[in-house]
Amino acid sequence: MKNLLLFPFLLILFQACAQKDDKPSQEKVNLKLNEQFGDYWYQGKAELTSYDLEQIRYGAKRKGEAVLIYVTEDFSKSKQVKLDNPKEAGDDAEKVLKLNFTKKFNTGIYPYSIMTSVFSPVYPDNDLHARKITTSVQEWCGHVFMQLNNKRNKYKLLARSYFESEGDVRMNLEKIWLEDELWTLLRLDPNQIPEGEIQLFPSTQYLRLKHKELKSYTANISKIKSDDLNELKIEIPELERELSIFYKNQHPYQIEKWEETYPEKGEIMTTTATLKERIMLDYWNKNGVKDSTYREELKIGF
């Protein structure tokens, strides 16, 4: 009889906990877009920027190239994918700034191809964080994949790997800052990037390449301002890792170069990327044979 009386109380308690878990984040959002934001980002084109890349891998510098593709698009809040028919989506539609961040380089005989996609809200109500982040790494030994989905007060993480020690992973992460989302927030409103000591989930590219534990790390973030290029600096002492992103100090805050330093085979080494070319282009309409000339314009060869 006592157990029967206890059951309704436990049911109510469980429902209350479930409701609390589903409650949206109520963090204060102060995102301030530049007055010319729409003139730049809503012209029906993407910003394509190529970089000369010197990527550290297996204790040596590997020459390659990186491309940052920034574009705004309509996103489904519920499915967290690009909408096929935004006009029919109603309240489910959300405008995002998407970054596709690609790297290509060779190691000896075999190539590496890396891509990270970040989807950040342009008009967030109460959650400034990226809606979704994915990263894949392909090379001749196999490929790995990671995805983080923003689910109200947590991230759902999915990881797949050909390595036995990493295998298939599903886990929840507390809602903290993600290093990958800083690359899009910087383009929207760099003033919203926190400074000082914070808890940070590091670059998904770095975590996969270095096989580091999937968890938050204590990081120090600083912004160094100048007359032309500002520097966003991220330091993660536990990983002996630093990242510096150098970007224009005026809208649209274009990224000119970056440097990433960490231990590689017992030596501190630095990956660098420096600007080659930048164009605005509706690249999704440029898939004909004749359109390969745009690759020459962007100065990409891989």
* Residue-wise DSSP of 29-81: ------TTHHHHHTSS-EEEEEEEEEEEETTEEEEEEEEEEEEEEEEETTT-S
- Of 164, 149, 93, nearest in space to 123 by CA: 93
Which pLDDT score, from 0 to 100, does residue 10 have?
38
Contact assessment for residue 60 and residue 48, using Cβ atoms and an 8 Å cutoff: no
Please state whether beta strands 142-151 and 132-139 pair in parallel, antiparallel, or not at all (unpaired): antiparallel
Q: What does each of the 302 residues of the chain score in pLDDT, given as a tens digit? A: 444 444 443 343 334 443 334 333 445 688 999 999 999 999 999 999 999 999 999 999 999 999 999 999 999 999 999 999 999 999 999 999 999 999 999 999 999 999 999 999 999 988 999 999 999 999 999 999 999 999 988 999 999 999 988 889 999 999 999 999 999 999 999 999 999 999 999 999 999 999 999 999 999 999 999 989 999 999 999 999 999 999 999 999 999 999 999 999 999 999 999 999 999 999 999 999 999 999 999 999 98
Please state whether beta strands 142-151 and 93-107 pair in parallel, antiparallel, or not at all (unpaired): unpaired
Contact assessment for residue 207 and residue 180, using Cβ atoms and an 8 Å cutoff: no
Which pLDDT score, from 0 to 100, does residue 152 have?
84
The CA-atom distances, in angstroms, between 103 and each of 26, 30, 115, 236 are 36, 32, 7, 22
Q: Where are the domains of the chain?
A: 28-298
Q: Which residue is associated with the tokens 């510096």?
A: 244
Find the helix or strand (DSSP H, E) in which 155 lies: strand 154-160
174: its two tokens: 């507390």
- Asked, as a colleague might, if the bond just before 190 is cis with ω within 30 of 0, I would say no
- Of 45, 129, 46, 136, nearest in space to 94 by CA: 129
Which pLDDT score, from 0 to 100, does residue 280 have?
98
Handedness of CA 209, 211, 212, 215 (dihedral sign): positive
Mean pLDDT, the chain, rounded, equals 91
Helix (H, G, I), strand (E, B) or coil at 92: helix
33: its two tokens: 């877009």
210: its two tokens: 């270095």
Which pLDDT score, from 0 to 100, does residue 167 have?
87
- Of 122, 101, 124, 123, nearest in space to 113 by CA: 101
Helix (H, G, I), strand (E, B) or coil at 137: strand
- Of 211, 202, 201, nearest in space to 141 by CA: 211
- In DSSP terms, 222 is beta-bridged to 233
**What's the rounded Cα separation, in Å, for the pair 217 and 127?**
21
Which pLDDT score, from 0 to 100, does residue 27 have?
59
Estimate to the nearest angstrom the gap between the alpha carbon of 250 and the chain centroid: 22
Helices (H), 25-181: 37-41, 86-89
Helices (H) and strands (E) counted in the chain, each on its own, are 6, 15
- Of 78, 77, 80, 207, nearest in space to 146 by CA: 207
**What's the rounded Cα separation, in Å, for the pair 210 and 64?**
19
